[in-house]
A = this chain, B = another copy of it.
Amino acid sequence: MKILIVGGAGMIGRKLAERLAKDGSLGGKPITGVVLHDVVEARACQDCPFPISAEVGDLSQPGEAARLAAGRPDVIFHLAAIVSGEAELEFDKGYGINLDGTRLLLEAVRQAGNRPRLVFTSSIAVFGAPFPDAIGDEFFTTPLTSYGTQKAICELLLADYTRKGFLDGIGIRLPTVCVRPGAPNKAASGFFSNIIREPLAGQEAVLPVSEDVRHWHASPRAATGFLIHAAAIDGEKVGPRRNLTMPGQSVTVGEQIAGLRKVAGDKVAARIRREPDQTIMRIVAGWPRNFDASRAITLGFKADPSFEAIVRSHIDDELDGRIA
């Protein structure tokens, strides 16, 4: 089984490659090779049980998608995207990468003719406020960002290319990934991870919103699990509605902090400093908070069991079990 990861240098791409290397197989079939494609060189994992290579290129450039599809991978993970903030500031660039890049990939796969499983990472940004208490599987997509619009469009293309038999697509709408490893970033959503990751590392974190703000989370471990499950799931069971909201943990910031305190103690939880930021509060108010992801659950996708489990998986996976 040959695998292509487009966007292989990103955080989720790296986690996915590590998991594939650990498993050595996908859906019960041995992996014979992995290509990590991205605009920067992905770090190929050491001690891989299969050949792995990093290729550098821009999916939105002519010929690049065809070059990738020509390798006739059995499974393609398409994770590459310009992030939300950048897609909002740079309208043409966002459409160029997130929409046209994806369309070029779908078209190249169609031309290659080997009908691979293509797992596309969509986003809960396809939904726009106002929302019901829990967004169900049949709620409409009225995005309030260009990024969300591009993801919603790619979902439609993925379903149509699948329906026509050009490829075998599954779109998964990932929750916000928490705890996101690495340095704090300035994304408006950054604090959801910062308030867990930084205190666990002995650093202070700033909380810019009130503790009653609710949001929808999945650990990097759960997100990787969604991708693996989507790659091997029976397409017949999914049917023509190819895009699925992934299950997550809907918790308030207060519940996040309580989870951190329970796992790591008062001293760690005390490293969170409240510093309300009206701009961030306003942005976050328009985000989805809670979902009823029944379809994905029925299809076997597994969320983290609790927010405490999310904290523990971060400690295990990123901190070698050690709390500062």
> What residues of chain A have their CB less than 8 Å away from a CB belonging to chain B?
91, 128, 137-144, 146, 149, 152-153, 156-157, 159-160, 163-164, 240-241
Contact B159 A149 (CB under 8 A): yes
* CB contact between A164 and one of B146, B156, B159, B163 (< 8 Å): that residue: B146
Residues of chain B contacted by A163 (CB below 8 angstroms): 144
Contact A91 B240 (CB under 8 A): no
In the complex, A140→B143 CA distance in Å?
13
Given the interface contacts A91-B164, A128-B240, does A156 sit within 8 Å of B144 by beta carbon? no
Contact A240 B157 (CB under 8 A): no
Contact B157 A153 (CB under 8 A): yes
In the complex, A128→B162 CA distance in Å?
15
Shortest Cβ distance from A147 into B: residue: B160
Residues of chain B contacted by A139 (CB below 8 angstroms): 138, 140
Given the interface contacts A139-B138, A240-B128, does A160 sit within 8 Å of B149 by beta carbon? yes
Residues of chain B contacted by A157 (CB below 8 angstroms): 149, 153
Residues of chain B contacted by A128 (CB below 8 angstroms): 240-241
Given the interface contacts A149-B157, A156-B152, does A142 sit within 8 Å of B91 by beta carbon? no
Residues of chain B contacted by A159 (CB below 8 angstroms): 142-143, 149
Residues of chain B contacted by A137 (CB below 8 angstroms): 140
* CB contact between A240 and one of B144, B156, B241 (< 8 Å): that residue: B144
Shortest Cβ distance from A131 into B: residue: B138
A129 to chain B, nearest CB (A): 9
- Residue picked from A137, A142, A156, A159, most chain B C-beta under 10 Å: A156
In the complex, A163→B146 CA distance in Å?
9
* CB contact between A141 and one of B91, B140, B143, B146 (< 8 Å): that residue: B140
Given the interface contacts A128-B240, A240-B128, does A143 sit within 8 Å of B156 by beta carbon? yes
In the complex, A159→B128 CA distance in Å?
11
